[in-house]
Structure 1
Amino acid sequence: MIPARTSPTTPTDQARRRRVAAATFVGTAIEWYDFNIYGAAAALIFASQFFPNFSPVAATLAAFGTFAVGFIARPIGGIVFGHFGDRYGRKHTLVASLLLMGIGTVLIAVLPTYAQIGLAAPILLVALRFVQGLGVGGEWGGAVLLALEHAPAGRRGLYSAFPQIGLPAGALLANLVFFAVSAALGPERFAAWGWRIPFLLSAVLVLVALLVRLKVEESPEFSTLRSRGEVRRLPLVDVLRRSPAAVVLGMGITFAPSSLGYLLSVYLLSYGTGTAGVAPQTMLLAITAASVVYLVVACLTALVSDRVGPGRVFALASVLGVLVPFAVFALVNTAAVGEVLLATGLLGVVLGLMVAVQAVIVSAAFRADVRYTGSSLSYQLGAVLGGGLTPLASATILGITGSWTAVAGYIALLAAVSGIAVWFLPRVAETGDGEQGTTPAVITQR
């Protein structure tokens, strides 16, 4: 269990916690802005700009394949940044991950297309997407732990939700920028060069996030570990030796929010415009509106999660996650604006419930001395098998079967796995004294 601090709260403590909450929220929002604008560009732009000699279906698969490369890099980023985060601290590791993500995104903004440099263009695109994946792979665990380990007793769920709320905020910002730029320039100019503008804006946003993050203090729990000489030399080895079941179940918990998130932000954009006949502007508007729903529900869930119990919230959301994909595709297939808005709104509700409590459930399963590595590895591997493969797997399933119900069934299966994993995780989670089998209170409340 994460040890509680019982010392009186002073105005200085409150100010420090507010800075940490702001820093983790802003930084995560900007990293996910970067990650999501790539997803939108992969759905709408990259097939024609980087794979012009492919058939439409093959070009779409290739574009989503470059999107999936970022997810392949994420576990590597989680391991590398997790190692340094558990060895040297959360704060500086987070600054490095933010810089890496920002550099990769800005370089995509100035990348020549296939028409300009030929085969080198998609190769460089894949390389930069890999860089993005490394950055975001190190971001999640550090941001969550910095917030979680500054939290007062009884408020772990609320504080760990701040970086999680950055996910829908970043997606919302990405969709708003894409929508505004595409509407202002028109389809032709946007496809030719306007798509680069959202990527260029990342440079400004990263500078803002850096200024905020550099002002926060190191995690008190890590500082205590370091002062006691209890920092692990090889945290990855310790995690795999001591907590393999927790890693696997943490991965399983990540399947549902990751797959549903990229169903909303990436695959529905392609499916709605290419298969269901929905206008691109309508799909962008619907996804943007859903991001607002996602953000609001996540905020409300964070406020009550410590009282209701994160496990209960996630279990309910998993049941909804099994049912909602079928309703979503049926509604989008009507191509009617109201039904499309309802479809994406349903996804926003389920995602808000899941994401607000996911971080505290996964991170509480690991001891502080290996928590960055353990939680990052679980989350990022789950994101690869869940979200990273969702657009590519969905497009492949639809291409083979021609049936949207098969795609919905695939996503529903991932949600069911997450529901099962959240039930078993407390039974293998480590306590603060290194014993297994004692269930941390923060994740057993169902």
Structure 2
Amino acid sequence: MSTPTAAAAALPIDERVTKRVAIGALVGTALEWYDFFLFTTASAVVFNVQYFATKDAILAGIFSFATLAIGFIVRPVGGLVFGALGDKVGRKKILMITIVGIGVVTGLIGVLPNYAAIGIAAPILLILLRIVQGLAVGGEWSGAMIIAVENAPLHKRGRYAAMPQLGSPFGTILSSGGFALLGALVTKESFDAWGWRIPFLLAIPLLAVSLWIRTKLSESPEFEALMEQGETEHAPIRGVLKNSWKQIIVGMAATLLGVGGFYLVTTFVVFYGTTVLHLDRTLMLVAPLIAAVFEIPILIGGGRFAERFGASKVVIFGGVASALLAFPVFLAVQSKSPVLVVIGITVGVCALSIPYAVSGAALTALFPTRTRFTGVAISANLAGLLSGFIPLIATATLAATANSWVPSAWLLVGIALFTALAGVVLPSLSIKQAGVKA
């Protein structure tokens, strides 16, 4: 019987199909991140006011970010469930389910009454919706990444693995752009009363478009070959935990900076800028939007560099760069200069986007086809679980250190070096593939 690598190399690849699948994966992840970033942005500027009745701004922020963290807590559960199903019944079927879950929940948040209207039921319902959203997200990114990679030629997997990652800046542009536009067009009172709901309601038509595109996706040829040969994994969770636990840890570490660092540099910094530094809210919403624009070429270039130099080297470089830039980024925000604030957030996001660009290529190379969905889902969602607590931890340090930003900068340094260390280990654990550098 041929090895998984040999079997994958022997499969015929039509790059027209590859591009169509990659675009379908990108559109879906863009909606995923749009919906998820709406929640993170709203956690910083809306939910703390609308759903948590307290006059202590820092305490309200902690409650709001705790709700944000709940979505990350349940993501590994969603990853286990949808990952195992994806390794049993196929990638495409799971992607249809997860995108519906994400889009519908986001639309429901847009019509959810606030604390003033229904009291304690409001934050409870918000938490329940966040749980459902987290479960769906647990399977969405992993499935989209895998179906894009497995439909791509081996020697071009770096660039196609970067395609779903573009969903992050596109989602940021749509979500932060929507909030910033509304903040500029309506008064603060109107924004707080009803304006913030509009971006959430727009998730419904976006969901319809995403579903239409995803119905045209092709199933992974690697998975179809396993199905035809009757070699799919009957117990993927047990198999991946038994045989690939080292890969799970390294995959989680390699992914952490791109997710957790992002929420620190954007979500927490937005909260810190508006609440502690009293910077203009529109400025703090526009800054991540500008950063997202510059992130796009970083992600595209990162995929090409992975093909040329190897994903591990790109991860190491991005981790070290983010660690070196952590204090300058926070100092720029602390300056309160609008220009420096935008530059600081943009530089921080671009640096951590370097390893994020290749995290999909790195993770998919860690696991064989038969347990790949499960392995990637567990690794990515463990990183997501830790990431969900990062804005909460950073906010808690404000209360403990008289609103000092220094602990948050050190937190970013630690995350960045952890990811860089994972890059060092990656080559020894990755599946050797012809034409692909680890």
Same fold (TM over 0.5): yes
Residues 1:5 and 2:6 are matched in the alignment: no
2: CA distance, partners of 1:43 / 1:155: 39
1: CA distance, partners of 2:179 / 2:87: 37
Residues 1:88 and 2:128 are matched in the alignment: no
Contact 1:246–1:365, Cα closer than 8 Å, also in 2: yes
2: CA distance, partners of 1:349 / 1:308: 19
CA offsets, 1:213-257, max 9 Å, x none?
Answer: 110111000000111111111100000111111111111112211
Over aligned residue pairs, what C-alpha RMSD do you find? 1.6
Letter in 2 for 1:289: I
Residue 202 of structure 2 aligns to a residue whose secondary structure is helix
Deviation at 1:140, TM superposition (A): 1.0
Letter in 2 for 1:412: V
1: CA distance, partners of 2:397 / 2:154: 46
Partner in structure 2 of residue 29 of structure 1: 30
Residues 1:400 and 2:400 are matched in the alignment: yes
Deviation at 1:174, TM superposition (A): 0.8
Residues 1:177 and 2:178 are matched in the alignment: yes
* Structure-to-structure mapping, 1:68-87, within 5 angstroms: 68-87=69-88
Unaligned runs of 5+ in 1: 432-438
1: CA distance, partners of 2:301 / 2:437: 21
CA offsets, 1:85-107, max 9 Å, x none?
Answer: 00000001001000001111111
2: CA distance, partners of 1:360 / 1:303: 11
The TM-score normalised by the length of structure 2 is 0.96
The TM-score normalised by the length of structure 1 is 0.94
Partner in structure 2 of residue 374 of structure 1: 375
Contact 1:315–1:422, Cα closer than 8 Å, also in 2: yes
Partner in structure 2 of residue 256 of structure 1: 257
Higher mean C-alpha displacement, 54-63 vs 136-145: 54-63
Partner in structure 1 of residue 194 of structure 2: 193
CA offsets, 1:172-230, max 9 Å, x none?
Answer: 21111111122111211001111110000000111101100110111000000111111
2: CA distance, partners of 1:56 / 1:248: 36
Higher mean C-alpha displacement, 43-52 vs 401-410: 401-410
Contact 1:39–1:265, Cα closer than 8 Å, also in 2: no
CA offsets, 1:123-179, max 9 Å, x none?
Answer: 000010111111111101100110000001200111111111111211121111111
1: CA distance, partners of 2:385 / 2:188: 32
Deviation at 1:308, TM superposition (A): 2.4
Partner in structure 2 of residue 389 of structure 1: 389
* Structure-to-structure mapping, 1:3-402, within 5 angstroms: 3=6, 4-5=8-9, 13-385=14-386, 387-402=387-402
Letter in 1 for 2:9: R
Residue 5 of structure 1 aligns to a residue whose secondary structure is helix
Residue 178 of structure 1 aligns to a residue whose secondary structure is helix
CA offsets, 1:285-334, max 9 Å, x none?
Answer: 11110011112211222233211221111110000121222111100011
Letter in 2 for 1:349: C
Deviation at 1:2, TM superposition (A): 4.4
Letter in 1 for 2:185: A
Contact 2:154–2:434, Cα closer than 8 Å, also in 1: no
Residue 155 of structure 2 aligns to a residue whose secondary structure is coil
2: CA distance, partners of 1:369 / 1:141: 14
Deviation at 1:14, TM superposition (A): 2.5
Deviation at 1:426, TM superposition (A): 2.9
Higher mean C-alpha displacement, 166-175 vs 367-376: 166-175
Contact 2:309–2:437, Cα closer than 8 Å, also in 1: no
Contact 1:70–1:133, Cα closer than 8 Å, also in 2: yes
Change (3 A) 1:2 1:104: farther
Contact 1:165–1:355, Cα closer than 8 Å, also in 2: no
1: CA distance, partners of 2:303 / 2:364: 16
Unaligned runs of 5+ in 2: none
Partner in structure 2 of residue 435 of structure 1: none
Deviation at 1:7, TM superposition (A): 6.3
Contact 2:154–2:436, Cα closer than 8 Å, also in 1: no
2: CA distance, partners of 1:110 / 1:443: 47
Count of aligned pairs between the two proteins: 433
2: CA distance, partners of 1:205 / 1:263: 27
1: CA distance, partners of 2:384 / 2:326: 18
Letter in 1 for 2:61: T
Contact 2:80–2:377, Cα closer than 8 Å, also in 1: yes
Deviation at 1:340, TM superposition (A): 0.7
Change (3 A) 1:7 1:85: closer
Letter in 2 for 1:356: A
1: CA distance, partners of 2:113 / 2:365: 44
Contact 2:253–2:418, Cα closer than 8 Å, also in 1: yes
Change (3 A) 1:2 1:105: farther
Letter in 1 for 2:338: V
Contact 2:28–2:99, Cα closer than 8 Å, also in 1: yes
Change (3 A) 1:442 1:422: farther
Contact 1:250–1:378, Cα closer than 8 Å, also in 2: yes
2: CA distance, partners of 1:216 / 1:362: 22
CA offsets, 1:48-69, max 9 Å, x none?
Answer: 1111235211111000111111
2: CA distance, partners of 1:2 / 1:157: 16
Higher mean C-alpha displacement, 130-139 vs 297-306: 297-306
